Every structure is written in C-alpha cells, then in structure tokens.
Amino acid sequence: MPATSVGVFKIATSGPGDVSGLMSLISSGTIDPKSILAILGKTEGNGGVNDFTREYAVAALCTALAPHLNLPPHDVEQRIAFVMSGGTEGVLSPHVTVFTRRTVEARPDGRSGKRLSIGMAQTRDLLPEELGRATQITETATAVKAAMADAGISDPADVHFVQIKCPLLTSDRIAAAAARGSKTTTTSAYASMAYSLGASALGVAVALGEIAPGIRDEDVLRRYDLFSKVASTSSGIELMHNVVIVLGNSTSSASEFEIGHAVMKDAIDAAAVMAALNSVGLGTTPQSSRELVNVFAKAEASPDGSVRGFRHTMLEDTDISATRHARAAVGGLLAGLAGNGAVYVSGGAEHQGPAGGGPVAAIARLSS
Amino acid sequence: MPATSVGVFKIATSGPGDVSGLMSLISSGTIDPKSILAILGKTEGNGGVNDFTREYAVAALCTALAPHLNLPPHDVEQRIAFVMSGGTEGVLSPHVTVFTRRTVEARPDGRSGKRLSIGMAQTRDLLPEELGRATQITETATAVKAAMADAGISDPADVHFVQIKCPLLTSDRIAAAAARGSKTTTTSAYASMAYSLGASALGVAVALGEIAPGIRDEDVLRRYDLFSKVASTSSGIELMHNVVIVLGNSTSSASEFEIGHAVMKDAIDAAAVMAALNSVGLGTTPQSSRELVNVFAKAEASPDGSVRGFRHTMLEDTDISATRHARAAVGGLLAGLAGNGAVYVSGGAEHQGPAGGGPVAAIARLSS
Amino acid sequence: MPATSVGVFKIATSGPGDVSGLMSLISSGTIDPKSILAILGKTEGNGGVNDFTREYAVAALCTALAPHLNLPPHDVEQRIAFVMSGGTEGVLSPHVTVFTRRTVEARPDGRSGKRLSIGMAQTRDLLPEELGRATQITETATAVKAAMADAGISDPADVHFVQIKCPLLTSDRIAAAAARGSKTTTTSAYASMAYSLGASALGVAVALGEIAPGIRDEDVLRRYDLFSKVASTSSGIELMHNVVIVLGNSTSSASEFEIGHAVMKDAIDAAAVMAALNSVGLGTTPQSSRELVNVFAKAEASPDGSVRGFRHTMLEDTDISATRHARAAVGGLLAGLAGNGAVYVSGGAEHQGPAGGGPVAAIARLSS
Amino acid sequence: MPATSVGVFKIATSGPGDVSGLMSLISSGTIDPKSILAILGKTEGNGGVNDFTREYAVAALCTALAPHLNLPPHDVEQRIAFVMSGGTEGVLSPHVTVFTRRTVEARPDGRSGKRLSIGMAQTRDLLPEELGRATQITETATAVKAAMADAGISDPADVHFVQIKCPLLTSDRIAAAAARGSKTTTTSAYASMAYSLGASALGVAVALGEIAPGIRDEDVLRRYDLFSKVASTSSGIELMHNVVIVLGNSTSSASEFEIGHAVMKDAIDAAAVMAALNSVGLGTTPQSSRELVNVFAKAEASPDGSVRGFRHTMLEDTDISATRHARAAVGGLLAGLAGNGAVYVSGGAEHQGPAGGGPVAAIARLSS
C-alpha cells in the first residue's frame, strides 16, 4: 500500500542569506528539492515590523531553489510555504527546518504505529474586511480540515501543530475596502496583524473541536478563554489567503519521525515542555532509540503583567519589545530542556494557548 | 551555647524606589533593621553603564532605613552592603533579598546539622593601579578567609556563594595613578570593570583552594580555565575596597535556612540548576518540609559565540547588549525550574564559573 | 510700583541624582530657594514608561530642597512644579531650568517694555472619566486664564509657552470609575497619556483663542487640525489635577529675560527655529547685548510616515521608540542653531503644533 | 574635445529590497545601466554588526542589474562599487544615490568652469597584517592619486569627497596571518574595522597633502589631530583591497552637477553645513538656477563625552549605540538645513574630520 514519507531536516544558518546548508543536502542527494513542502525558520532580526531578515531569507532561498525547481525565483513562494520567524534572542540559534513529503510504495518493514504526517491547504483570498472576523475563522476551519485530509489524519487528537500563515491589512487594502463601503476591523496595519493571527488560531480551534463554532467578530482579541492548543500563526504582507500546514501523526505515514505536543500555561511552564518531550518518548527517561529533532513553541508576555503572581517588566520596557523579552525567556527554558538553542520559538500568541502561555510541540526521530 | 541566627527575606518591589515591602516587615517586627547585614536586589534598568535604577534603589533604601538606624542616609551604605544588579529581562521579576544576622543564646531544640551562615569582610582601600592585578587577587583572598571566619565556616566546601562588590577605575583615578608614575591595567573605565570583577573572582578561587595561588597580572581576563565555582562579583563606583559576603553552611548557625550550589557549564545547563536545587533538598523529588527562598546565578554570553555547537547571536547584536540577552535566557531557565521569576540572575561572569557558564546557588527554608 | 522679578537658571547635571549645581547656586545666594516656582529638566532615561530617571531626579531635588524650605521631602512637590522630560538622545545634554519669582519694589531704571513673566494655576482634581474629554479641556482653559492673570498677562499674544502637567489613568482609577458606572475614554494606562496630553493642549488653545470653544470628546486625538501653538504638555502619575505654567512677557515684570516663540510645521523646520530665536533678538544678526538662555520645543514623528514627502522609519522601528528618534533629530537641529545641546526637547506633541511639528520657544537674557 | 558626462540620481526606496525606482529609470532610458559606476545608499537597519539590510540591498541590486549587464549577479559587485550605510535614524530617509559616467563628444554649449567628476581606483589586495597600518595608508594614498587621475583632477583642492570601501579582519584572516608568523594590529574583528577605516582616511589625507607622509603604525586611532577633511570610509567583509571613489570638480567634465564641501568641527556645526551648501551656490541666498541633489556627511559621538562643553550621553547608553545617536542628531541638523531627510549621513569618523566632527559635502544640479 502506498504511503507518504515525510522528512524533517534542521539546518543551522550562518546568516539570513545563508542557503549553503540546504544546498549541500540537495547536492548530496539527501534532500530532493521537488519534495520540499514547507520551510520554517528562525532568523536573527528583531522580529518586529522592521525585521527585514525574514524577507531576505525567503528571497535567498527562492533564488537558490529556483533552478532546482525550474521556476523563476518569484514563483517558488507559490510552491513552498515559507514561514520565517524573526528573533533569536538569548541562546536561540538561527536555523531552518525543512519539511519534505513524497509518496513511497509501502512502509518499510517493522515501521508501525502512527508516524509524522504533514498536510497543507489554503483558503480562498480573503477580503480586507473579512480579516480578524468570523469569516476568516470559518474559512480557516475549513482549510484546516482539508489539510488534515491531505495529511491522512482524521482524528483531531492526532493533530499536534498547525502552522498558519495569514494576511494583514495595509493602507491600500483598508482604502479598497472603504471604497466598497466596507469597514475593516481596524485601520492600523500593525493592529491588523493581531486580529488576523487571532482569528486564524480560532479557526484551528473550531476545526479541531477545541471550541464550539459560532465565534463572533467581537470575541476576537477579547475572549482569551477561547484558544487552540496546537495553533501557531504568523502573518505576511505578501498574501491575501491563509496557508495552513497541519503536522500530526498518521498510519498512512512511513516517516521515521513522530510528533507530540503539550500546552504551556505560562512562560515558565517547564512541566509542559517536559510533557511535550515525553510525548515523543524523550525527556527524563528517554528511549535510547529516539533523538530530538526540534521543538516548536509560541511565546508571549502575559497580558496581566505577572507570571505566577510575580510582576514582569516586559510590557513597560521602551527599550526592548515585549515579544523579544518573551522569546528570550521561553527560548532559554526550551533550550535548557531540549539541550540546544536551535529551537523554534515564535512570538505573539493570540488565541494560541492560554493568555501568557502557548503550544509547544516536539518532533523526534525514531531509529526505525 | 550562643549561635547566630541568619534570616533571609525575599521581597517583591513595584519599582526601583519602592521600599514599602521592607518597611512593612520592619513595622510588623518581622525584620529588626539593626540586624540587616546585606541586601541583594534585582532592579529593572538595563544593567549597563547608564542604569540609574541601581543607585536610585540604594538611595531610596538608605533614606528609608536611616531613621531606623539613627544614621544620616549617606552612612547607611557604610553599615549595610547593598548589591543591586540591574536588568530584569524576560520573566525576571524585580525584588530584593534581605539578609539579617543576630546572636541567639542557643539553637532551638531539634535544629541540627549545618545551617545558613553569612560572614562579611573587606579589603583595605586598593590603589587604582592594583585593580585587576595580582594584588587585588591576594587582598581579596585574605578578605574571603576573614569573611569565612566571620561566618563560622572553616571548610571551603561549606562555602556556596561569595558575593563581592569591588571598585572600578574612573578618569580621575587613572590620572591620580599616572601622576604617581603608575600605570593602571586599562585606561577605559568600562573595561576596568571586567578586570576588577575578574580579579575579585580569582581571589575567591585562591582563598577556597579552587586554584593555586600565584596568579599573575597577565592571567586576568585571559586564562579563563581559572575560575571560582561560587564567586559572584559586581562593581561599584562608590568604593575603593572590596566588600566580601560569604554565604555557606555552618554548625554555628541556628538558621532555618540552608544553602547549596552547582556550576552551570553553559547558559542552558538545566542539569546544574537541578543539582543546585537538589543540593538543598528541592527539585524532582522535593522534601515537603522545604521551600525554595531564592536562586542566585551569574549569566554571560559564551565568548566563543556558540552554545553546545550552535551559534548564538548575542555578541553581534547592536540593539540589545549581550548581558541583557544572557540574563533573559538564563532567567527563563531558572524561573522555569524554580517555579517563579523572582530569582537573582546577574550578568557578567569573568572567572566566575567556566566561560559561558557560571555559579548557581539555592537557599531553602527548612520547616525547623 | 511693585513688580515681579523672574529669574531663569540653566544648570547642567552630571546624572539624574545630581543636585550639586542647584545647591551651589543656593549656597552662594544666587538662588533663593523660597523663590523657586518651577523646575523643567531633561534627564537621561529613555523617556518611556520605564524611565525612572524622572522620578529619581524629582526625589533627589525634593530631598535636597526640603531643609531649605522647612518642609518634609514629600511636600516639596506640592510647592514647586517639577516637569522632568526623559530622553537626551543624540547631542541633547542633561540639565534643569529653574524658574524663580519674587516681588520687587520697582523696576530697575532703564528696564522697559514687556519682560519675562511666569504664572501658575491648577484645575480641581479631575475624575478619571473626565480625562481626555471636553471637561478636561474646559477646566484646563479656565486654569490657563488664571495662570495668565497670575503672570500679569492679559493679551494672549503675550503668551509664548504653556507647560502643563496632567494626570493619566491607572488600572485603579479605571476601576474606580467603572465602580461608579462611568467609562473612561480608554482602558489602557499607556493610551490615556496621549488623551490627557491632547485634551490639556486643546484647553490651552481654547483659552488663548487659537481655536473656538466647544471641542467635543470625539475630537481629541482625531482632529489634528485643532492645536495650540504654545502648549507643551507632560503627564505624571502622581497627580489628579492639571498644573499650568504660563510663560510670557508682561509690563509688570522687572525680569532681565524675554521670551518668544514660533511653530515648527514639521521636524526639520529650521526656519521656525530661527524665527523663535529672532523673536527674542537672537539669530542671524543677533543683538550683542542679548544671550540665549534656553530653547523649549516639542518633537514627534509625523504620523503619516513622511517628512516633506520623504519616508521616515521612526514609526516602524521595533528597536528604538519613535519618540526617541524624534527627540534626537529635533535636538540635533535645535542644538545646531542654538549653539549647544542643553536645550529642552520633549517628545509627544498631541494637539501641540501641527501633526509632525510642534511649538518652539526661546528665552533670552538682556543686558539690562 | 571629448568630455565625461557624470550623472547623479537620488532615488527613494521603500525598503532595503526595493529596486523599483532604479529599474524605472533604466526602463525609461534615463539611466544607462552600463554607465553606473557607484551606488551609495542609506538602508534602514541599525548600522551595526548585525545590520543585514546592507547586504540585502546589495543582493537585490545585483540580482536586478545582472540581466542588464549580462553578468551573473555575483559579478555585478566587481563592476559597480556599492557603498551601503546602515541606519536611517530620526528624519533620515532611505534612498540610494546612483553615479553614472560616460564619454561624450564635447561639452554642451555654454557649459563652462569645473564640473562634477568621478574617478575610481583600487589598491592591490592587502595582507591581514597590513590593515590599519602604514602600508594600508601608503597603498591607499597611491590609489587616491590614481582615482584623481581617472577623474581628470590634478589639483587636490578640486577633490571634495573621497569615499573608500576597505576590508576588515575576520578570525580566518587573523589565523592566516598568525600561521605566517605575522601579527595583525588587533585580534578583534570589530576593532579591526576602526583601524582599517582610520588608516584609509589617513591615506586620503596623505594623498591630498592634508598631512605629511610618513604616518606610523602607532599613530592610527591615536593621533586624532591627523585627519582628512574629505574622506569618508566604510568597511566591508567581502573584499581585501581598498576601493577608492573620488568626487570633485574638473574642467574635463561636461556634467550638470557641481560638488563642494566643508568640515564640521563638531556634531552641531550648523555653520559648516551652511558653508558646504554655499560652496555650490545654495543656502541663505541661493541661486535660483541651482538645486540641491544630496549632502554627504560623517557623524560620530565626540570621544571626550561633550559637545562645546556640554556633556552628551551617547557613549554611555547601553540601549542605543553611539553611532545611531550621532547619525540621528547630525541627520536632524542636515535635513533641517538641506530641506529634506534623504541625505547621506554615515556613522564612524575615524581620522575623517576632527574628533567629534566630520566632512560634509554637497552636490548641486545647475540649470545648464
């Protein structure tokens, strides 16, 4: 019976423009460029509005991959999902994680149980006035279900990380909506990011049954008791639709890898990080036949200004943005428990885990 | 038989000028102001040259304590050792730890074994040209031994944390040395801090037998294989001598508290943090009769630019200083393992633990 | 005929806690501490929410002045208006400007024309729900007129700089309003600053007839075509009323000083700065008998993202706040034209001058 | 008689990767891509070690220009000199200035006098141990003379701006020197920049007779009384030789443009900026037939910590680097006097103008 073979490659980078590691793996035949489905990266900018390391990294990857895919550089972005998260504060180390998928004739002998599977889907183009509102939630939920099907996953419990790339508003888009007599949820490009991120995360929660459907416009960025335990959302100016990447385990996968997750209830939730590692057989009493590939987490400064009753100063710091503080701290904890700093910690966690906390997923390689 | 009773009080602060928590404990009789020996604090500035939260906090404490000690504000600093570490990045929470000591007639019944003891001593005033050199090392070593005696500790193995406050060079001091025909180790005020911090730490290492005596001028800030596992040094412009605070365990102490330590070999050494917690009966299988009071650690960006083989970007960041990055990351790890962010993580670790690592000490309160 | 004698003293500081310059002038008899009405200062913090150099500077001044005024330190703030503006970016130099006023029997011979006069007044305590709304505008306007009378100024054209200190919302104040069934204009402490600053500036504009009365709640922070050309407002957490300081010229003043102003239409309006200097006889063809004391200006990043058609990057910078950028740039221009960096440039200019611009005032000392 | 025609085009950019403005001018035939000699740009990064906007901008320009030059992207850098200066603090606006040169048969009728001319030359590859020392000075001086000849300039008084791009040390280069038994002037990559920048500037000064030849190794970064009034140097990791661009006026040029310069003696030297503008017929009484194209200046925080006797805080700021402060302030002054923020202000001015000051050049377009 045919199966999908999903590969995961973590590659250190020496700068946002460095594609040499990926090119080496392609040259050596380890990675077939045509099998690349998605690349998640950490780049060393500030992770804010003026972080150009993300687009520089994507541009460099597109230019380098284009000849291997027989595409002009600009079209590579249509084929591969790039999610670059800026900010390698503290011990965080710049790297990319490359996900590949291809069809194999059958599972290798002895490979059993559910294994890492990846699926993708996308929504239709959204109107500016739909961003951050119920429509984006509903459309995203539909796409999440399509991506689950693409991944060969039917049980929501088998979904462990849903990475979404979603649009944001620009002054042009706001004006276009206004010209049609429609009002966008906000007139600030910056603020629109949070709305789009939050609505997309709620779409995941609805699709997976974590919350009931019927979320209203006014719940977005207000009812923080509504959240997904596996959503990780990221916005980009270059698209008007949501791209959904579902990572989970499936019997249809012949992968060497397995994924699991937990939910950090706050930024110092070491127990949750350990639970995520344990869920894939790693941690305090690790199985010797398993090895950690990467950990994926969202981090944010708790909006109430404290963590377990102790005041933090992240939200009042005019020198360092709260997202940089949060990534540095959560990165320190994850790196300590994972044993290295090349982990994926991304800032901003609207409706992604409880307020001040966030999802944490781990991928392990099994010996067979 | 008379014994010393050492108290440790961790008090959250709402700002660098906030003394209300300490004043409450004095009003309620919990703390006798005359018994205060030292106050170690974390304030919410940037921890750099222009961090005025440290001097503001000391000024506020001196003003508030002065009437209780019948001293003018300025003289309070002569009586109590204030060590303020700036920088509460990430989840770190501003607070002070107040150490008190008084003599009691005898140990309470049932209190046995070695308990937390604190001792202080100071060197003579050092000449500017002695800072960062063999003389400072030797003088500090002598003072460490005196502070051990003051703490009732004879075995170096019972010393778990040595906090030192040491001078730095200023242009006036450099000029004064030059006028005498003497050359200081550096002509940069900023650079002189590292020299003084490093030489002070080496003095601790010599006193405790961690390294052989006879360290030469040229070893300071060069031979990073020479270090102390318990030294934590901090510089201040207001003094010309080293103040030494030794924290350890002693049979002469009737304290409710116990201290232990470990050494982080790098900034993500979770095992060392657990070892420090375990050393005072806390951690994975904690004794229910014990409770963590505080953890004390030094953090630095590893000078070779990587942690366990993965590149970090702390040293090349023009936006955030490396010490802020390092405190944020190590603070995230410690807070995660300690369960709260009100921990003492101080930046800069010259000859304090191995390069990129540093000492970590823990104080626990026992039920009796 | 009795007259008022107004003094202006610009004093450089070596740090936020440095009061030595002022103390020297008091010791030497140059300044009578009882005549001090207001102190405007530039301190070297970041000018943001976590800038503690402002309160540290005020605390140090209160402690130092208290014995000279026979007041406890805390009461000094009730008697003298302290306005500390954080942020000495670029060439800006930390300093304080001390304003004194006393009654003299008559003008010295030969002193004629209108001279620098200062007047103060304050509103009643405002309710949290009144901040940023029409009530604050109206109450401020009334206080501005009272301060003009106090300064002996009847013609609004003689008013050249109105410095206001106004309250901001805190979570406690917002909750108190809510408990009474009242809604504050915003529930964000940070955002409330802009509302209070803007409404206070509009109050000045109404009082001086720069705009028509009857400004509505919804005009605040929206109708930026409404503004005052002489208002400079600053918020502080320690008060619930507006303190108004009017600076202008009056025939009732026997001062050696004169004040004038102009309006910068954007952040690079060199012509306006020259006009302000010219208005007090300084500038391109300065009168040899006159000397510049200080220049006072407000700076902000133009909200439309450009200056004279060229894009600026201040509003998108996650590393440096826009107010720091704006102070640095306007400070560079003012220092260049004034000839030194000890000028007062304060950030945030809601309804203070046109969007992206702001008022600029100059005080000159005349030879007689 | 054949003449050279030099063009200067200032083009605003919407981001570091934006090449659309240049491409439009190429499409419309306004710029012949083959005539492009050099591109000087301001990009919106932090201007520090981790400013990737510079290399991103160069990569984008190379990719866009490559097909027009029939070169692979990587070879474009060999043909065109790219000098990207990071940091658009305050009102500074991101832009590029494109310099073109081609040969024309004769000067247009009526065009007389000396006009803008541009010449380029380069040194041989330098050894790592030659950087920052007398050899680099001497080799640079030789290249400056060659570039003058290339520009058709014989009188040093006709040289108004010399932009140099020079190498820096890396750990590999330091190791290579050590392997040959040679010691580099510093073992810090960061510190090597200042040495190379300084030695290059001294090379300009020697070539133009501003200082006597025979500068010794130990004078670099020490004898700040030795400097060039027209040098602007910038370092790059991608080359091992110095690239020299001489801008001046020559009778051999048929250009519509003229260049002049002055020297800022400190960061607030408005008079020098006016002098530079006046030198090309602009400023207080501008000739109506002339229009400013761009101003080029170097900025630095004065090393003695003060400007005209007033303390600045740039060197002690742990939050914002001194170079960012300096660019913001000098940028504010230049933009104010030039009338727009798209001016070229670059940080770091070792031996480029007096300590704390720097050269300032202006280019004007004449009507004929």
Report pLDDT digits (tens) over A274-309.
999 999 999 766 677 899 999 999 999 999 999 999
State residue B347 phi and psi, 5-degree precision. Answer: -90, 160
* Residues on C contacting D at a C-beta cutoff of 8 Å: 12, 14, 44, 46, 88-95, 267-270, 273, 306-314, 319-320, 324-326, 328-333, 335-337, 339-342
- How confident is the model over C101-125, as a mean pLDDT? 90
List beta partners, residue A359.
A263
Rounded distance between C-alpha atoms, residue B43 and residue B94, angstroms: 5
CA of A110: how far to CAs of A103, A254, A255, in Å? Answer: 18, 10, 12
> Who contacts A344 (Cβ-Cβ below 8 Å, separation ≥6)?
A40, A42, A85, A97, A294, A295, A296, A297
Q: What is the mean pLDDT of chain B?
A: 95
| Assigned architecture for domain D109-255 | 2-Layer Sandwich (3.30)
Q: What is the mean pLDDT of chain C?
A: 95
* Cβ(A104)–Cβ(A5) below 8 Å: yes
What tokens were used for C59?
A: 């605390």
Rounded distance between C-alpha atoms, residue D326 and residue D235, angstroms: 18
Helix segments in C13-107, DSSP class H: 20-27, 53-69, 73-79
The residue behind tokens 């208005």 is C279
> Who contacts D112 (Cβ-Cβ below 8 Å, separation ≥6)?
none
List beta partners, residue B200.
none
Residue range(s) of every CATH 3.30.1330.170 domain in chain C: 1-105
Rounded distance between C-alpha atoms, residue D228 and residue C118, angstroms: 50
The CA radius of gyration of chain B, in Å to the nearest whole number, is 19
Q: Check residue D356 and give its pLDDT.
A: 96
Q: Check residue D236 and give its pLDDT.
A: 85
* Cβ(C323)–Cβ(C48) below 8 Å: yes
Print burial letters for A327-350: b (CB count within 10 Å at least 16), e (below 16). Answer: bbbbbbbbbbbbbbbbbbbbbbbb
CA of A167: how far to CAs of A220, A243, D295, in Å? Answer: 16, 9, 39
Amino acid code (one letter) for C288:
S
DSSP structural state of residue C353? S
Rounded distance between C-alpha atoms, residue D230 and residue D232, angstroms: 7
Contact: A335, B333; criterion CB under 8 Å: yes
Contacting residues of C for A305, CB less than 8 Å apart: none
Residue range D1-105, CATH number: 3.30.1330.170
Contacting residues of D for B316, CB less than 8 Å apart: 48-50
Given a contact as 3+ CB pairs under 8 Å, which chains touch B? A, C, D
The residue behind tokens 């007090």 is C280
Contacting residues of D for C333, CB less than 8 Å apart: 332-333, 335-336
DSSP structural state of residue B95? E
Q: Is C308 left (phi over 0), alpha (psi -120 to 50) or beta?
A: left
Residues of chain A under the 70 pLDDT cut: 284-286, 368
- Partner residue facing C90 (CB), from D306, D310, D328: D328
Q: Check residue C284 and give its pLDDT.
A: 66
Chain D, nearest residue to C311 by Cα: D93
- Partner residue facing C91 (CB), from D46, D307, D324: D307
Strand, coil or helix: B323 = helix
* Cβ(C311)–Cβ(C74) below 8 Å: no
Q: Check residue A191 and give its pLDDT.
A: 87
CA atoms within 13 A on the CB side of B82: 24
- How confident is the model over B136-151, as a mean pLDDT? 98
Q: Rounded to a whole number, what is the distance in Å from the CA of D47 to chain B's nearest CA? A: 8
Burial classification of residue A74, based on how many CB atoms lie within 10 Å of its CB (0-12 exposed, 13-18 middle, 19 or more buried): exposed
Q: Check residue D111 and give its pLDDT.
A: 78
Rounded distance between C-alpha atoms, residue D327 and residue C90, angstroms: 8
Burial classification of residue C172, based on how many CB atoms lie within 10 Å of its CB (0-12 exposed, 13-18 middle, 19 or more buried): exposed
Contact: A318, C321; criterion CB under 8 Å: yes
Contacting residues of D for C325, CB less than 8 Å apart: 89-90, 328
Q: Which residues of A are catalytic?
A: 165, 234
* Cβ(B335)–Cβ(B297) below 8 Å: no
Chain B, nearest residue to C318 by Cα: B319
* Residues on C contacting B at a C-beta cutoff of 8 Å: 15-17, 44-45, 50, 52-53, 55-56, 59-60, 63, 319
Contact: C45, B63; criterion CB under 8 Å: no
Q: Which residues of D are catalytic?
A: 165, 234
Residue B368 has pLDDT above 70, yes or no: no
Given a contact as 3+ CB pairs under 8 Å, which chains touch C? A, B, D
Residue C285 has pLDDT above 70, yes or no: no
Residue C198 has pLDDT above 80, yes or no: yes
Cα three-residue angle D113-D117-D121, rounded to 5 degrees: 150
Report pLDDT digits (tens) over B269-319.
999 999 999 999 997 666 778 999 999 999 999 999 999 999 999 999 999
Contact: D59, A60; criterion CB under 8 Å: yes
* Cβ(A159)–Cβ(A145) below 8 Å: no
Give the relative orientation of helices C322-338 and C270-279 as an angle to the nearest 10 degrees. Answer: 50
Contacting residues of D for C92, CB less than 8 Å apart: 312-313, 329
Rounded distance between C-alpha atoms, residue C190 and residue C184, angstroms: 13
User: So what's the ipTM on this one?
Assistant: 0.95
Q: Check residue A368 and give its pLDDT.
A: 64
Contacting residues of A for D45, CB less than 8 Å apart: 52
* Residues on B contacting A at a C-beta cutoff of 8 Å: 12, 14, 44, 46, 88-95, 267-270, 273, 306-314, 319-320, 324-326, 328-333, 335-337, 339-342
Rounded distance between C-alpha atoms, residue A307 and residue D285, angstroms: 63
CA quadruple D299, D301, D302, D306: dihedral, nearest 10: 130
Helix segments in chain A, DSSP class H: 20-27, 53-69, 73-79, 134-151, 171-179, 189-207, 270-279, 322-338
> Who contacts B67 (Cβ-Cβ below 8 Å, separation ≥6)?
none
* Cβ(A298)–Cβ(A353) below 8 Å: yes
Q: Check residue C222 and give its pLDDT.
A: 92
Q: Which of C89, C95, C274, C344 to mutate to test the interface with D (most CBs of D within 10 A)?
A: C89
Q: Closest Cα partner for B254 from B108, B35, B101?
A: B108
pLDDT profile of chain D (368 residues), mean per 10: 91 97 98 98 94 96 96 94 96 98 85 92 97 98 98 97 94 92 90 94 98 96 96 90 97 95 98 97 78 97 95 94 97 98 95 96 90
* Cβ(D98)–Cβ(D31) below 8 Å: yes
Sheet holding B36-43, edge to edge: B3-12, B95-104, B36-43, B81-86
Q: Check residue B285 and give its pLDDT.
A: 67
Burial classification of residue C288, based on how many CB atoms lie within 10 Å of its CB (0-12 exposed, 13-18 middle, 19 or more buried): exposed
Report pLDDT digits (tens) over B214-241.
999 999 999 999 999 999 999 888 889 9
Contacting residues of B for D321, CB less than 8 Å apart: 318
Cα three-residue angle C19-C24-C28, rounded to 5 degrees: 155
> What is the β-pairing status of strands C3-12 and C95-104?
antiparallel
Active site residue C24: no
What is the rounded end-to-end Cα distance, in angstroms, of chain A?
18
In Å, how far from its chain's centre is CA C69? 24
The residue behind tokens 């401020």 is C140
Contact: A340, B307; criterion CB under 8 Å: yes
The H-or-E segment that residue C110 falls in is: none
Q: What percent of chain A has pLDDT over 70?
A: 99
**Total number of residues shown for chain C:** 368
Report pLDDT digits (tens) over C153-181.
999 999 999 999 999 998 889 999 999 99
- How confident is the model over C177-189, as a mean pLDDT? 92
Q: Rounded to a whole number, what is the distance in Å from the CA of A191 to chain D's nearest CA? A: 21
Contact: A52, D16; criterion CB under 8 Å: yes
Q: Check residue D171 and give its pLDDT.
A: 85
- Say which range, B11-15, B129-133, C66-70, D172-176, has the weakest mean pLDDT: D172-176
Amino acid code (one letter) for C24:
S
Residue range(s) of every CATH 3.30.1330.160 domain in chain A: 256-366
Q: Is C91 left (phi over 0), alpha (psi -120 to 50) or beta?
A: alpha
Q: Check residue A180 and give its pLDDT.
A: 94
- How confident is the model over C253-260, as a mean pLDDT? 96
| Assigned architecture for domain B256-366 | 2-Layer Sandwich (3.30)
Q: Check residue D110 and give its pLDDT.
A: 73
3-class SS string, chain D: CCEEEEEEEEEECCCCCCCHHHHHHHHCCCCCHHHEEEEEEEECCCCCCCCCHHHHHHHHHHHHHHHHHCCCHHHHHHHCEEEEEECCCCCCCCEEEEEEEEEECCCCCCCCCCEEEEEEEECCCCCHHHCCCHHHHHHHHHHHHHHHHHCCCCCHHHEEEEEEEECCCCHHHHHHHHHCCCCCCCCCHHHHHHHHHHHHHHHHHHHCCCCCCCCCHHHCCCCCCCCECCEEEEECCCCCCCEEEEEEEECCECCCEEEEEEEECCCCCHHHHHHHHHHCCCCCCCCCCEEEEEEEEEECCCCCCEECCEECCHHHCCCCCHHHHHHHHHHHHHHHHHCCCCCEEEECCCCECCCCCEEEEEEEEECC
Range B218-222 contact pairs with CB under 8 angstroms and sequence separation of 24 or more: B220/B132, B220/B133, B220/B137, B220/B185, B220/B195, B220/B351, B221/B132, B221/B194, B221/B195, B221/B350, B221/B351
Q: What percent of chain D has pLDDT over 90?
A: 89
Torsion sign (Cα): B172, B176, B177, B178: positive
Strand, coil or helix: B281 = coil
Amino acid code (one letter) for C210:
E
State residue C78 phi and psi, 5-degree precision. Answer: -75, -25
- Partner residue facing A50 (CB), from C47, C49, C316: C316
- How confident is the model over C108-127, as a mean pLDDT? 91
Q: Check residue C288 and give its pLDDT.
A: 75
Q: Check residue D251 and give its pLDDT.
A: 94
Q: How many CB atoms neighbour CB B186 within 10 A?
A: 17
